[in-house]
Amino acid sequence: MKRTFWSMLAFFVLLAGASLTLPLAGGSPADSFKPYEGTYRLPSGELILVSRMGVTEEVARPYFLDWQTGRFGYLTAKEVDRFVSAASPAAKPDAAPQTEIAFGRDASGAVASLTIREIGSPERRAVRSEVYSDEGVSFLNGSAKLAATLRLPKGKGPFPAVVLVHGSGPGERPQLSLMNSFFAGMGLAVLTYDKRGCGASSGDWKKVDLDVLAQDALAGVRWLKGRPEIDPGRIGLWGISQGGWITPLAGAMDPGVAFVMNSSGPATSLRRQDSFMMTNTLKFGGFTEDEVALAMKGLNTLYDYGQGKATAEALDSVMEQARSHPKLKDLAFPPAKEISIEAMYAKQKIGDPAWYFHLNPDNDAVAPYKRLRCPTLVTYGRLDYTVPVEESVALLKGIAAETGRRDLTIEIIPDSGHGYLRMQEAQPTNPIAPMSISRAFFAAIEKWLKAHGFVGDR
């Protein structure tokens, strides 16, 4: 399969978010699956989450998360009220399912329970348990109207709250559904929103830099402060990947932010992180050191071209070198005169194929940490091949020592990659099978929030 440079930039995002599942009978997949979505309580007291996930509604897939075992899996409909899940997204269509979930209904016909069967384990029954409520809301940042959902835990407020910030590319609320439920389950109110220009939000994320995206998140913080159910002194931010660049930037802009959490957001520049990711991706694809070096030369010239620091002639020259190479010719850009930003986005709906035109590739990612005064947690997966983890940790430790800060916590999660899934030690591009979450990832966040008084014991 041929890949251009811009499609390679979002390669791992496409793998994670673009797969399709069988549509359910009647209506759109989202509408048909909605009756099943929610939390189900096992006799142990642990919950099973059933929801949908994807960077946009268009590609969002039904999934379940069994908090008792850590098992995570995408769901495929087999018949009404019965779904199956393979051990891995890479499993063949005719592979035996790892998990089967059958939903039960009450006398009124509403979905009221589920029975889960895992290979090699006894079946378990869970009863529907509403542990939070959702309200559709919106808030403004200048002329941009951001469509959002406010999730409130059951019980009496005022509640501490967290605003969730998306990663790169388009982002709608289903992308953050798992973290939304995790935080709400700890007693936090959660605000999730469609990124500007996505879903029901106005604006255009493809034309702004990270500071504007940080201001969007801060607009959510300000909106929460006006809600009577929310404790205005305990509102923080959590972001993943690009969101991990945005949350410390937002916290540095507004001293009213109570806490900042960054999951998998590099402390390096965008250029360094993207080059690190692409180098690893090419090496995993069997490219030699010399071939990788030429590809990186092309990428760096492209970054400079997007910022007006390299000429069209310079870009065409390096791309011609790539085109003359038998293994790199399919990765080369067309001549600069044929490059259209609009066409790049039209060609690729997921990821950010032209990020170097609207984002500064050489931004100083550690500068916001120098200005942050609120408690800050940074988590990295040891098996993350997309982020220079060791380099990022060294930079953050240097900032902490330089400024005398005492409340910057860095956690390395031993079994996770770029997020919360457990990854294979020998093949860090692939989750373990059966897929499961890293308990250490969630435990680190919960422990930190409790230690700082933002949540209590469940």
Q: Which residues of the chain have pLDDT under 70?
A: 1-29, 403-406, 457-458
- Dihedral (CA of 173, 178, 181, 187) sign: negative
Rounded Cα–Cα distance for residues 128 and 267 (Å):
41
Task: Output the pLDDT for position 457.
Answer: 67
Q: Give me the DSSP letters along 361-388.
A: TT--SSHHHHH--S-EEEEEETT-SSS-
Whole-number pLDDT of residue 59:
92
- Note the pLDDT of residue 93: 77
Nearest 10 degrees: Cα torsion 238, 239, 243, 248: 40
Indicate the residue type of 392: S
* CATH 2.40.128.50 describes domain 5-128: yes
Query: Where does CATH 2.40.128.50 sit in the chain?
Result: 5-128
Q: For the domain bounded by 132-269+363-451, which CATH number is listed?
A: 3.40.50.1820
3-state DSSP call for residue 62?
A: strand
Per-residue model confidence (pLDDT) at position 5: 39
The residues of the chain that CATH labels 3.40.50.1820 are 132-269+363-451
pLDDT of residue 40: 98
Q: What is the pLDDT of residues 394-414, one digit of tens each?
A: 999 998 888 666 699 999 999
